[in-house]
Amino acid sequence: MKRIGEMKPRLDEQTVALRAAREFFDGAVVNLGYGMPGLCANLIPEGRTVYFQSENGVLGYGSLAADKDQDYELINASDQPVTPLPGMSFFDSAAAFDMIRGGHVDITVLGAYQVSQNGDLANWGRPGRPATGMGGGMDLAAGVKRVIITMLHTTKEGAPRLVKECTYPLTAQRCVSLIITDLAVIEVTVKGLVLKETAPGWTVWEIQNLTEANLIPAAGIKEIEL
Amino acid sequence: MPVNKVLKNCEEAVADIFDGASVMVGGFGSYAGLPVHLIDALSRRGAQGLTIIANMGGVGFELSKRIKPEGYQDAGILFEKGLVKKFIGSMPALGGMPPTSPLEVLYNQGKVEIEMVPQGTLAERIRCGAGGLGGFYTPVGAGTVIAEGKEKKVMNGREYILELPLTADFALIKAYKADEMGNLIYRQTARCFNPVMAMAAKVTIVEVEEIVLTGRFDPESIVTPHVYVRRIVEVVR
């Protein structure tokens, strides 16, 4: 049986990343996770300065490097060659994680397999792949001031990823602040998940139908603006 | 008379790595900062039953071509050759890669043990080992599988878990340059896990792109002081 709304167009990854990057305030220190979050490096809102930190020991790198400028020894933690900027610094892994755990990073954008309605995050282990690890995900989720998740709203099979309780192994409890999916922008609050923005053409009811957790429509709910 | 730390080749540098030894492998995971020549030499030496402590378990030679077209040897070769009994690290296998890395294949066959450690906790356990500390309490991993079987403590309303230090018999390190005394400098993000691991092993072995005369480095620029370094080999990267 097809679920309601299944065939409507959803936001593409670039647009989800663009919406996430709009959360970067002027002067923010930001760490980007693997996959969709990495796209944010090239999508900083105009007129704002953002300092990208990466757990392999760099603060203040620029955009992703074009092919001709790639240097194998100037990379982010997702193995993407990046460009240098004035004021950039290098340090070792221990110092990189002091920065993360110690609350010196303002925002991290991470991917997720599941997020629960109280903000628990599961983003490293999945069935059939017991040897994949969490990398720096647990450290980022526990230490960074604001955890933003970019993810697809459902699995390939159509199952909800926003759930009442995570069934995949946890990264950290109650750590997520904001969730940006290909259907919605959702804030994690003490009352639960507040639906603040919807993808163009999608109704609250349609989005709730693809979500296991309860969504609370915000008073000023609107379509996602970019 | 100071000992000569400069060796002719990587084979000589790893010749005493024994069966059952624990070996830290520097770098982050892919080519940057990875001691690829020392890993290759260790795989050819063939010591058995090793414990490998590294951030990532490696993807193996074939998939390494996605990073560097000509390919390189990462820790994968040590698993592929059946030399390892246990891996300690944060990314044994990458979820974004096919499940074909040598470590993941062996693990799924029950032939190797994995101790999963969050990346920052790994760095800090190594720093504790290097600095003679007994461990530390961290909020990272609280409420997850990482906390299972560990001492817990609530401080200021937050739960912390006790993590213990890590040391090793040997560390394989990649630095940019060494002087003849063994002082090290690094290049860009190739620094990563190398400085902490260099401090935490009984015998630290370093591959560098250039060995310079002592006195050539600005003392302010030295990242790893020579006291931690036992052997240096110049390699072509």
pLDDT tens digit sequence for A118-163: 999 999 999 889 999 999 999 999 999 999 999 999 999 999 999 9
Of A35, A90, A133, Cβ closest to residue B116: A133
Question: From the candidates B68, B192, B196, B199, which should be mutated to test the interface with A, based on the most A CB atoms within 10 A?
Answer: B192
Name every residue in A having a CB less than 8 A away from some CB of B. Answer: 34-35, 54-58, 71-77, 79, 90-94, 96-97, 100-101, 124, 126, 128-139, 142-143, 169-173
B49 touches chain A (CB under 8 A): no
CB–CB contact B93 A129 (8 Å): yes
pLDDT tens digit sequence for B124-133: 999 999 999 9
What pTM, to 2 d.p., does this model score? Answer: 0.96
CB–CB contact A130 B191 (8 Å): no
- Give the residue extent of every domain in chain A: 13-216
Which of the residues A6, A23, A55, A157 is marked catalytic?
A: A55
Percent of chain B with pLDDT over 90: 92
The CATH label, of 3.90.110.10, 3.30.70.380, 3.30.70.260, 3.40.1080.10, for the domain at A13-216 is 3.40.1080.10
Q: All domains of chain B, ordered by start, with CATH?
A: 6-118+166-234 (3.40.1080.10)
The larger pLDDT score, comparing residue B80 to residue A225, is at: B80
| Phi and psi at residue A13, to the nearest 5° | -60, -40
CB contacts under 8 A, B 90-149 vs A, are 90-96, 99, 101, 103-104, 107-108, 114, 116, 118-124, 126-127, 138-146
